[in-house]
Amino acid sequence: MRLAGSNKCSNAHGRSSSSEQYSHMPARGSTLLPYYSLNTSASSSLAPRPRCPSPAIATPALLQLRRTHSPVCSSASTEAPSAPTRKAAPLQPPYNVLVTGSTKGVGRALAEEFLLQGDRVIITSRSDERVQQTVAELAQQFGADRVKGRACNVGVSSDVVALADWAKSEFGTIDIWINNAGTNTYKFGPMTSLSNEELSEIVTTNVLGVMLCCKEAIRVMQDQPAGHIFNMDGAGADGNATPRMAAYGASKRSLAQLGKSLCAELTQANIQNVGIHNLSPGMVTTELLMAGADTPTAKFFINCLAEEAAFVAKDLVPRVRRVPMEAANSRTGRMEPAYIRALTQVKAFTQIFKRLLLGDRKNRFVQE
């Protein structure tokens, strides 16, 4: 990957087997939307969040990172040398991109859009058969040298370690890693209606899977000029209630705290060349979302607010691709976290208003 000479940008889940369901719901809540959540950002532009503080408490041991200072013996007169600071560097496209859960739905659409933009992409899924099929289809269109694939269950640590090592060996670097894999087991109902196995699958994929992927992505990226991790949020990420999908909402709520903590740990370890960011796809017409279109309220908001995966990808990918050039703050050299949203509050309420006033977007995806 070549380093850019300027920070200026140069260009612009669907249903699966019972062992894998990848899809996402919108993130920000509103009292007008009792079943689906909206984003609160009033702007659709790239919106950096304040840098995470460096708390004066012991760093959790989630990451195997070098500490800023080594322990000092009581008889020693000087401290051990601190770890060298790894400064962030802007990167120039084309990028090497890894998308988890990318054989269908939002993940597949993101992968295709990155390829259309000229990047190289790694496809992952729990199913080796689906991975090979997806790679073959995309390679026919974009070339076998630009798309690779490997089966990976993000909830299994050995799978994730092997994926990270293999991706690095294939492409040399991983510039962008998108944690898109997620599940709700296609169940909409009270949490008490889910089996213990279903609850475990949701938490293992949506929480542990993201943690494992972040850990291994950081391990690989900290020895590169720079690297960027994007965690895909969903309904419940803002802390609002998610009736009929409580476990999913709770799992997505955890990602904001995880991101802030990882940011603080990286700062404490003087690792400034790895960025932790969030993506919010809004409402996407995957099979998971459509499985919940069983009430008049749900049908109304799906028609009014949802978009197809390809539409969402065309909105998100260009903004994601700007981050590697713009995230390295020129004053501090640190990564500035980005929160990229496809569905903002302003956009959502504009569409709702037009629907109520003019009847726009009625029956787009389901008959009301």
Catalytic annotation, residues: 248
Q: In 122-137, which positions are buried (b, 16+ CB within 10 angstroms) versus exposed (e)?
A: bbbbbbeebbbebbee
Longest dimension (CA), the chain: 78
Contacts of 204 (CB under 8 A, 6+ apart): 155
> Angle 309-326/105-116 helices, nearest 10 degrees?
60
Q: Position 237: which residue type?
A: A
Would you list the DSSP string of 126-149? Answer: S-HHHHHHHHHHHHHHH-TTTEEE
The structure tokens listed for 102 are 């990318």
Closest Cα to residue 289, out of 11, 7, 15, 77? 15
CA-atom Rg of the chain in angstroms: 21
SS3 assignment for 150-201: EECCCCCHHHHHHHHHHHHHHHCCCCEEEECCCCCCCCCCCHHHCCHHHHHH
Bridge partner residues of 275 (DSSP): 228
Would you list the DSSP string of 244-297? Answer: T-HHHHHHHHHHHHHHHHHHHHHHHTTB-SEEEEEEE--SB--HHHHTT--SHH
Bridge partner residues of 261 (DSSP): none
Q: Measure the CA–CA gap between 66 and 82, rounded to whole angstroms.
A: 9
Q: Measure the CA–CA gap between 68 and 54, rounded to whole angstroms.
A: 12
Q: Measure the CA–CA gap between 65 and 216, rounded to whole angstroms.
A: 11
What is the helix (H) or strand (E) element at residue 332, kind and residue range? none
